[in-house]
Amino acid sequence: MRFLADIRLDTGEVVTAHCTNSGSMKSCLEEGAEVYLSPVTDPKRKTRFTWEMIKINGKWVGINTSVPNRLAFEFMKSNIIPGLEGFSEIRREVKYNNSRLDIMATKPNETCFVEVKNVTLKEGELALFPDAVTTRGQKHLQTLMELKQNGIRAVMLYVVQRIDVNAFAPAEDIDPMYAQLLRQAYSKGVEIIPIQVKVSPEEVVFERVLKFLLAK
C-alpha cells in the first residue's frame, strides 16, 4: 500500500511505518537495507513510526519529504544558505494568488518567495528532480515566474538529502514538462539553488551548494 512500509526492527518485530514520500523513491529503495524510524506519540496516528532515512551503499539518504521545508526555514533564519541571508522576517506556507509557496522572506527593499523541493533521486553523480511526474511542481514554477514578472524575487530551492552526488539537474526523462518549465523559469530570472545536506540519525547538517545543470 502506498505511504506504508513494512520494517523489521532490531528486536525482530515487523512493524508498519508511515512513509511521507509520495514519489517513486527510485534509487533510494533497497529491500533489506538499514533504515531509521522515528517513534510517533500521537495517539490518533495508526502507525507507530515514521520512516526517516535509508542507508544506500553505506550512506544515509533522507526520504522524509517534510524535513526539507523545516530545514530551509531554519537555515534561512540562521543565515546558512549563501544568497539567502539577512532576512528580517521569514514566514512559512504563504499564499500567492492561487498557489501556496513554502517560504516568504522579507528585508528592507526586498521580498523573496522560496519554493522548496525534496531531492532523493540519483543517477551517476547527479541528483535529479522529480522522481515522478509532478503537476503540482509545474504549477509552482509557473507561480515563481509570475512573481518574478511582477518584480518579486523568486527562488527554487532543492534540498538534496544525500551526499553521494556532485551536481543537480532536472529529471527530463521522468517529467519533460517540468524540465522545460525549469529552464523557462531560469531564463526569466527565477533563481535555482540546490543545497546538499548530510543526514544521519543524530543530525541533519548543511553540506554545500551544488552546481546545477539545466539538462543532463
Adjacent-strand bridge partners of 61: 54
Q: Is the pLDDT of residue 204 over 70?
A: yes
Q: What are phi and psi of 87, to 5 degrees?
A: -85, 135
Strand partners, 62: 53
Mean pLDDT along residues 134-160:
96
For residue range 30-51, list pLDDT tens digits in order.
666 777 776 777 676 666 667 7
DSSP-assigned letters across all residues of 60-74:
EEE--TTHHHHHHHH
What 3-state DSSP class applies to 119?
A: strand
Dist CA 200 CA 203 (whole Å):
5
Task: Looking at the chain, list the stretches that DSSP marks H as alpha helix, in order from N- to C-terminal side.
Answer: 67-77, 135-149, 176-187
What is this structure's pTM? 0.85
Please, what's the largest Cα pairwise distance for the chain?
A: 58
pLDDT digits (tens, 9 = 90+) for 91-136: 999 998 888 999 999 999 999 999 999 999 999 999 999 998 999 9
Rounded to the nearest 5 degrees, what angle is found at the Cα of 61, between the Cα atoms of 123 and 130?
A: 45
Structural domains of the chain, with CATH: 4-62 (2.40.50.580), 67-212 (3.40.1350.60)
Range 153-168 average pLDDT = 96
The cell for 133 is: 511526474
Residue 156, pLDDT score: 98
CB 179 within 8 A of CB 156: no
Task: Look at residue 5 in the predicted model and tell me its pLDDT.
Answer: 61
Best CA proximity match to 118, nearest among 130, 134, 126: 130
Look at residue 1 in the predicted model and tell me its pLDDT: 38
Quick one: cell of 187? Answer: 531564463
